Chains A and B, each alone.
Chain A
Amino acid sequence: MLKDITLGQYFPGKSPVHQLDPRTKLIVLVGYIVALFVAKSWASYALCFGFLAVSIAISTIPVKSIVRGMKPLVLILVFTGVLNLFFTGGETVLVHFWIITITLEGVVRAVFMVVRILMLISATFLLTYTTSPISLTDGLESLLSPLKKLHVPVHELSMMMCIALRFIPTLIEETDKIMSAQKARGADFETGKLMDRVKALIPILVPLFISAFRRADELATAMECRCYQGGEGRTKMKLLRYKRWDMYAFAAGALLVAAVITLASFGL
């Protein structure tokens, strides 16, 4: 069951979206998010949606996997929708019952907010689904490299992120294994009062922490054996280079942002 978590998982593929430079994807994603937050009308939303739909279509990632990734976020979506539905004032009252008032504006706003979050998350999923953690951190490091002048340890930060991402699936697998082993000894995680359930976690957490530290130790040794010393003077085997598709992606992203801003300035 833990294995079903797909958050931040990479689906290897050969589509143009997969082959884009990670920096392109990051920058275009930022542009897309800006457009999404500037968008105020259905027309601009439709533009953003079109952009997203085309990207997903090109990426050949099945829509099903993106929807499946949304499952853990249903609560946030419902919460946002309900809050906006009930607490938006407006002229046209649709339902008035006791202290609950639902206005037309509220309904519109709730739908807007939920759609916005959905589109935001789908796009970030598309990024992590089509970009391996390594190239993602590579791109991030390269984008943040100007900060090196301010003595920000950019390389170290990106290496930490890379390692953290790399070990998420490993730790999930480990947790699964330890849970099974303790269940085999009669541990019960599903029933009991809250306190009992919290206590039931100890037999999982202790071995998990120990193995995480053991792994960290081993990894540190392995890295030192290969003379890892941090970012100073380190060269890359795979240099990031913009290609033709990157130009298309930048152009499309810029067009989207420009269009949405223009629409917004006309009050649409």
Chain B
Amino acid sequence: MTPVLEVKNLCHVYSVGTPFEHTALSDVSFCAHRGEYIGVIGHTGSGKSTLMQHLNGLLKPTSGEVLLDGKSIWADKASTRQARFRVGLVFQYPEYQLFEETVYKDIAFGPGNMGLSKEEIDRRVREAAGFVGLSESLLEVSPFDLSGGQKRRVAIAGVIAMEPEILILDEPTAGLDPSGREDILSNIDAYRQAKNATIMMVSHSMNDVAKMADRLLVMRDSLLAMDGTPEEVFRRASELVEMGLDIPEVTRVFLKLRSLGLDVPMVYTKEQAVKTLTALKGGVPNA
């Protein structure tokens, strides 16, 4: 299977030739396949956000390439513009970018820029609103009258409505309450399953990435430090801690159990934990 997105030896240096020169990315390479759910973790300032902004052509690499279906997104103007639509990027606190009079118009901004027909825009807006769980009645409301969590969903719907093949989210759950987090995470997964889209989620919550992602990228000081399944990554717990990162809470509990001499496998999510523990008790999981 050929990867949909390929990043080759990407480097980025900010403010070249000034006293503020600063390398944000050095020699980052990876590829992403359709339908993959990739979690991106790393300490603040490790280059995650810079990396994300390269994938849809908002930033131009100092050196290296970003390929979509094997073609560089900087090959010509049309490819760059296409990259904007094929790779949807949801920024941190996206609710601050809302500007239209109604929720409907705001979600329609992206598809409108794609030059789609009115019917197609209408279909996409309604579908996107459905994905993030916004009811029809909310579509005609001003986005500024909504609650914080609802605003966030409107902003995510605004990107989903462009039906990107790759959806990148920079800390989509930051500042939300636990039920809001759950909702947004399941909304994103619903979109992935419906469109077989690739998801890349930047997060500081190890619990979230352990639960959702089937692959993890770990950034450290502008380098891609690790790339593997959550199991492979969280196995290197001590390295993660040294980077100022963490491992999921349940993993820590199970590591402790192992050090106390209980023969349990490594566990990364609550669901796995429940299964393992019920099996240990000799019972059958009921949920």
Find A206's partner among B81, B99, B110, B113 (CB 8 Å cutoff): B99
Find A203's partner among B84, B91, B99 (CB 8 Å cutoff): B99
In the complex, are the beta carbons of A183 and B99 less than 8 A apart?
A: no
Tell whether A202 is near chain B: CB-to-CB under 8 Å. yes
Q: How many A-B contacts at CB < 8 Å in the complex? A: 53
Tell whether A181 is near chain B: CB-to-CB under 8 Å. yes
What's the minimum C-beta distance from B20 to chain A, rounded to whole angstroms?
A: 9
Q: Which residues of A contact B114 (CB under 8 A)?
A: 186
Indicate whether A183 sits within 8 Å of B162 (C-beta atoms), given known contacts A177-B91, A207-B98.
no
Q: Which residues of B contact A210 (CB under 8 A)?
A: 96, 144
Q: Which residues of B contact A203 (CB under 8 A)?
A: 97, 99, 109
In the complex, are the beta carbons of B85 and A182 less than 8 A apart?
A: no
In the complex, are the beta carbons of A184 and B98 less than 8 A apart?
A: no
Q: Which residues of B contact A178 (CB under 8 A)?
A: 96-97
Q: Which residue of A lies closest to B81 (CB)?
A: A186
Tell whether B88 is near chain A: CB-to-CB under 8 Å. yes
In the complex, are the beta carbons of B97 and A181 less than 8 A apart?
A: yes
Tell whether B172 is near chain A: CB-to-CB under 8 Å. no
**Which residues from 170 to 229 on chain A have a C-beta closer than 8 Å to any C-beta of chain B?**
177-178, 180-188, 202-203, 206-207, 210-211
1/0 per residue, CB under 8 A from A, across B81-102: the answer is 1001100111100101111000
CA distance A186 to B81 in the complex (A): 7
Tell whether B31 is near chain A: CB-to-CB under 8 Å. no
CA distance A184 to B58 in the complex (A): 7
**Which residues from 97 to 148 on chain B have a C-beta closer than 8 Å to any C-beta of chain A?**
97-99, 109-110, 113-114, 144
In the complex, are the beta carbons of A185 and B91 less than 8 A apart?
A: no
Q: Which residue of A lies closest to B111 (CB)?
A: A186
Q: Which residues of A contact B99 (CB under 8 A)?
A: 202-203, 206-207
Q: How large is the interface on A (under 10, 10 to 19, 20 to 34, 35 or more residues)?
A: 10 to 19
Indicate whether A186 sits within 8 Å of B84 (C-beta atoms), given known contacts A177-B91, A203-B109, A210-B144.
yes
What's the minimum C-beta distance from B55 to chain A, rounded to whole angstroms?
A: 10
In the complex, are the beta carbons of A185 and B58 less than 8 A apart?
A: no
What's the minimum C-beta distance from B84 to chain A, rounded to whole angstroms?
A: 5
Tell whether B248 is near chain A: CB-to-CB under 8 Å. no
Q: Which residues of B contact A206 (CB under 8 A)?
A: 99
Q: Which residues of A contact B58 (CB under 8 A)?
A: 180, 183-184
Tell whether B53 is near chain A: CB-to-CB under 8 Å. yes
CA distance A177 to B144 in the complex (A): 19
In the complex, are the beta carbons of A182 and B97 less than 8 A apart?
A: yes
What's the minimum C-beta distance from B275 to chain A, rounded to whole angstroms?
A: 39
Find A184's partner among B15, B56, B96 (CB 8 Å cutoff): B56
Indicate whether A185 sits within 8 Å of B96 (C-beta atoms), given known contacts A180-B58, A180-B91, A210-B144.
no
**Which residues from 136 to 168 on chain B have a C-beta closer than 8 Å to any C-beta of chain A?**
144, 158-159, 162
Q: Which residues of A contact B162 (CB under 8 A)?
A: 185-186
In the complex, are the beta carbons of B144 and A184 less than 8 A apart?
A: no
Q: Which residue of B lies closest to A185 (CB)?
A: B110
Q: Most chain-B CB neighbours within 10 Å: which of A178, A182, A185, A188? A: A185
**Which residues from 242 to 266 on chain B have a C-beta closer than 8 Å to any C-beta of chain A?**
none
In the complex, are the beta carbons of A184 and B109 less than 8 A apart?
A: no
CA distance A180 to B96 in the complex (A): 12
Q: Which residues of B contact A202 (CB under 8 A)?
A: 99
Q: Which residues of A contact B85 (CB under 8 A)?
A: 186
CA distance A214 to B34 in the complex (A): 40
Q: Which residues of B contact A183 (CB under 8 A)?
A: 58, 84
Q: Which residues of A contact B96 (CB under 8 A)?
A: 177-178, 207, 210-211
Q: Which residues of A contact B90 (CB under 8 A)?
A: 184
Q: Which residues of A contact B15 (CB under 8 A)?
A: 3
**Which residues from 1 to 27 on chain A have a C-beta closer than 8 Å to any C-beta of chain B?**
3
Indicate whether A185 sits within 8 Å of B159 (C-beta atoms), given known contacts A177-B91, A180-B58.
yes
In the complex, are the beta carbons of B158 and A185 less than 8 A apart?
A: yes
In the complex, are the beta carbons of B113 and A180 less than 8 A apart?
A: no
In the complex, are the beta carbons of B53 and A180 less than 8 A apart?
A: yes
Q: Which residues of B contact A3 (CB under 8 A)?
A: 15
**Which residues from 84 to 137 on chain A have a C-beta closer than 8 Å to any C-beta of chain B?**
none
Q: Which residues of A contact B81 (CB under 8 A)?
A: 186
Q: Which residue of A lies closest to B112 (CB)?
A: A186
In the complex, are the beta carbons of B113 and A187 less than 8 A apart?
A: yes
Q: Which residue of B lies closest to A191 (CB)?
A: B77
CA distance A185 to B15 in the complex (A): 26
Q: Which residues of B contact A207 (CB under 8 A)?
A: 96-99
Q: Which residues of A contact B89 (CB under 8 A)?
A: 184
Known: A182-B97, A184-B56. 4 other contacts (CB 8 A): A177-B91, A180-B91, A184-B89, A202-B99
Residues in chain B within 8 A of chain A (CB atoms): 15, 53, 56, 58, 81, 84-85, 88-91, 94, 96-99, 109-110, 113-114, 144, 158-159, 162
A to B CB contacts below 8 Å, 6 in the list:
A180-B91, A182-B97, A185-B109, A186-B113, A187-B109, A203-B99
